[in-house]
Structure 1
Amino acid sequence: MSRRDRIVVTLLLGIPLLIDIAFVWVPALGTVLLSFFKWNGVGSLSTKTCQPNLPSILNNGCVDGIQNFHQAATNYPSFWPAVWHNLIWLGVFVFIATPLGMLFAVVIDRGIKGSRMYQSILFLPVMLSLALVGIIWEFMYSQNLGLINTVIGRNGSNNAIDWLGDPHLNLWAVLVEATWRQSGYVMVLYLAGLKAVDPTLREAARVDGANAWDTFWRVIFPVMRPINIVIMVVTVIESLRAFDLVYITNKGINGLELLSVLVTSNIVGETQRVGFGSALGVVLLVISLVPICIFLYQTFRREETR
C-alpha cells in the first residue's frame, strides 16, 4: 500500500471515528460524570462537597455523589411511573409491533398481488418524522372533531372520549401511534432478511413436505438470527428513547411520563438541574443496556455451543 493510499484510508476511517467520539462518546461520558454533581448549568464544576446549610449559589457545581440517584428513586414522584411506562412501551414493541412487522414482511415476501403498494403504505409512517406522526394522530384522537370519535358515534357529545387527555387512556393511545410506525420499520428489516435467505432452503423444505408454517419457523427464521439481533437491539433503543410523541401530546405529564421526557425537562426545562437530569439519563442508559447485553450474551453463547 502506497503512502497516498494509507493517507486516504486514515482519513476515511479517522474522520468518522473522530465525529463519533466527539458527538457520541464524549457526551455520553460527560453525562455519566455530571450525574455525580449538583449543577444547574451555570458556572464551573468544583470538587467541594454539597453542604445542605450553604446558600444555593455556593452549592452550584459541588460533588453530589449518588445523591442524584437516591433522590430520583425516593423523592421524585415521576420517576417510578416513568420507568413503568418505559417498560410497558418496551413490552408493546416486543410483543406487538415486532410480530406485526414480521407478519407484514412474510406476507409481502410471498409475492401477493399489489405487494409493492402495500409495502409503500406500511413503510410510509417510517418516512415521516415522529413529530408529524404525533400531529396526524392528534387529529385522529381529537375529542370533538376526531375521526375515531366520529366513527364510534361519540363526536361532540357529552360522553366523547378524551383519548389524549385521560391519564388512563393516553399512554395506550400514543402506543398505537408508535406501533403504527415501528411495525413498518421492523417490516423493512425483516424483508431484507427474507430476501437474503438462500432459496434452496425453501425448496428443500418443500420437498421434505414441510408446510409454510414449519418452513418459516424451522428453516427460515433460524437463518435470520443476525437480523433478529439487529431488530432486538433497535426495538429496545427505540422504545426507551421514545420522546417526540409523548412530548407533542402533553409534554410527558398526566399519565405519559417517560424517562426521556424527564431527562429533557430537568436539563433544558425551567429547573435546569443538569446533574439530576444526567443521573436520569444514566438510569435510562443502564436500563437499555441490560436487556441488550442479556440477549446478545444468550445469542452468542448458543452460537458457541453449536
Structure 2
Amino acid sequence: MTSRTRRYSTRDMAVLVVGLGVAIVVNVGVIWGPALASVGLSGTDWSGIGPIEWVGAQNYHDLAAEYPPFWSAVRNNVLWLGFLALIATPFGLFCAVLLDRRLRMSRFYQSALYMPVVLSLAVVGFIAQLVYSSDYGVLNSVTGLTVDWLGDSSINIWVVMVAAAWRHVGYVMVIYLAGLKAVDPALKEAAAIDGADERQTFFRVVFPTLRPVNVIVLVITVIEALRAFDIVYAINRGRNGLELLSVLVTENIVGEASRIGFGSAIAVILLAISVGFIATYLSQMFREER
C-alpha cells in the first residue's frame, strides 16, 4: 500500500501564510523589534528629540560609576528573585502537594489561593498600602505598633516582596497542581510497595517527573522578579528603598528628563540578566537529558 503525499491547495497555503505571517509580524514588531532597538539605542545619547549622538559604552560606564540608584536596583532585583525562588515558589509547591491529597474543602482553598493571581501587581500595591500604611494600615492597627513599613528604606523592600509573593504563590500552586495530577499513580504505588514513605516517594519518584513543570516555574519566577514594576510604582514610584531596574528604565525613558539611550542601557542589562538565568538552566537541563 503506497502512501500519498498530501497536496495543499492554494487556499490552504494562503491560510498558512497569513496565519504565520501575522504571528511573525506581531512577534517581531512587539518583542524582537523593540528589544533590538534598545540594544542599538543603548550606545547613544538621545533625548527623543533631535539628532542621535553615538557614545558607545559610555552609558554603561556611567551606570556603574556615576548612578547610585543602579546598584540599589540591582540589589533589590536580586533579593526579589531570591525571595520568590527560595520562599514563595517552594511554598506554592507545598500548597499544591497538600491540595493534591484531596483534603476537605480543597476547592475552596484552591480558589482562595488562586484569587490574588487575577489581580494585577498595581492592585496588590494598593492593597499593600492598606495593610502596611503607618497611618491607617491594618497591620499597625491590629498589632498596636507604630512602624512605618513602607517609609523605612531598610524594611520596605521586604514587606513589598511579601505582598508580591502572595500573588506568586497562587500562580505556582496551580501550575504544580496540574503537574501533580498528571503523575501516574502506578509510580506512587510501586514506591509504596518498595517500602518508601511519603517523603521519599515525593522527592525520589514524584518530583523528578515534574522537571518540565520546574522549567516553566523557573522561567515564570525569573520573569516575575525582573519585570516587577507595578507594585512599587503604586506605592512610592519605586523610590526610597524600592528602586528596581524596571522603574529606572521608565524614569529615564519617559520621565521628566528623557534619556532614551541611558534608559535603554538599563533595559539591555535587564534583558541580559533574564536571558542569562533562563539559558543557563535550560542548557544544563538539556545536557542532562542527552
Which among 27, 37, 46 is matched to residue 39 of structure 1? 46
What's the counterpart of residue 255 of structure 2?
Answer: 269
Q: State the identity as a percent.
A: 53
Misfit runs of 4+, over 6 Å: none
CA distance in 1, matches of 2:250, 2:57: 20
CA distance in 1, matches of 2:28, 2:163: 33
- Pairing 1:300–2:286 present: yes
CA distance in 2, matches of 1:31, 1:240: 17
Structure 1 unaligned regions, length at least 5: 45-60, 155-159
CA distance in 2, matches of 1:131, 1:280: 22
- Pairing 1:288–2:274 present: yes
Structure 2 unaligned regions, length at least 5: 1-7
- Pairing 1:6–2:13 present: yes
Q: CA deviation at 1:3?
A: 2.0
CA distance in 1, matches of 2:159, 2:85: 17
What's the counterpart of residue 102 of structure 2?
Answer: 111
Which among 207, 210, 228 is matched to residue 224 of structure 1? 210
- Pairing 1:170–2:161 present: no
- Pairing 1:152–2:143 present: yes
Which among 22, 29, 35 is matched to residue 36 of structure 2? 29
CA distance in 2, matches of 1:203, 1:43: 70
Q: CA deviation at 1:12?
A: 2.2
Q: CA deviation at 1:302?
A: 0.8
CA distance in 1, matches of 2:203, 2:19: 41
Q: CA deviation at 1:299?
A: 0.9
Equivalent AA in structure 2 for residue 74 of structure 1: A
Which among 171, 182, 194 is matched to residue 208 of structure 1? 194
Equivalent AA in structure 1 for residue 143 of structure 2: I
Q: CA deviation at 1:22?
A: 0.7
C-alpha deviations, 1:77-118, integer Å up to 9, x for none?
101111011000010011001101100111111100111100
What's the counterpart of residue 100 of structure 1?
Answer: 91
What's the counterpart of residue 233 of structure 2?
Answer: 247
Q: CA deviation at 1:119?
A: 0.6
What's the counterpart of residue 59 of structure 2?
Answer: 68
CA distance in 1, matches of 2:271, 2:248: 14
Q: Equivalent residues in 2 for 1:133-148 (5 A)?
A: 133-148=124-139
TM-score between the two structures when normalised by the length of structure 2: 0.95
CA distance in 1, matches of 2:177, 2:9: 41
**Partner SS, residue 299 of structure 1:** helix
CA distance in 1, matches of 2:21, 2:188: 43
CA distance in 1, matches of 2:254, 2:29: 21
CA distance in 2, matches of 1:18, 1:145: 49
Which among 109, 112, 124 is matched to residue 115 of structure 2? 124
Paired residues, number = 283
Equivalent AA in structure 1 for residue 22 of structure 2: I
What's the counterpart of residue 17 of structure 1?
Answer: 24
Q: CA deviation at 1:14?
A: 2.0
User: More deviation in 23-32 or 205-214?
Assistant: 205-214
User: More deviation in 100-109 or 198-207?
Assistant: 198-207
What's the counterpart of residue 166 of structure 2?
Answer: 180
Q: CA deviation at 1:146?
A: 1.2
User: More deviation in 217-226 or 144-153?
Assistant: 144-153
TM-score between the two structures when normalised by the length of structure 1: 0.90
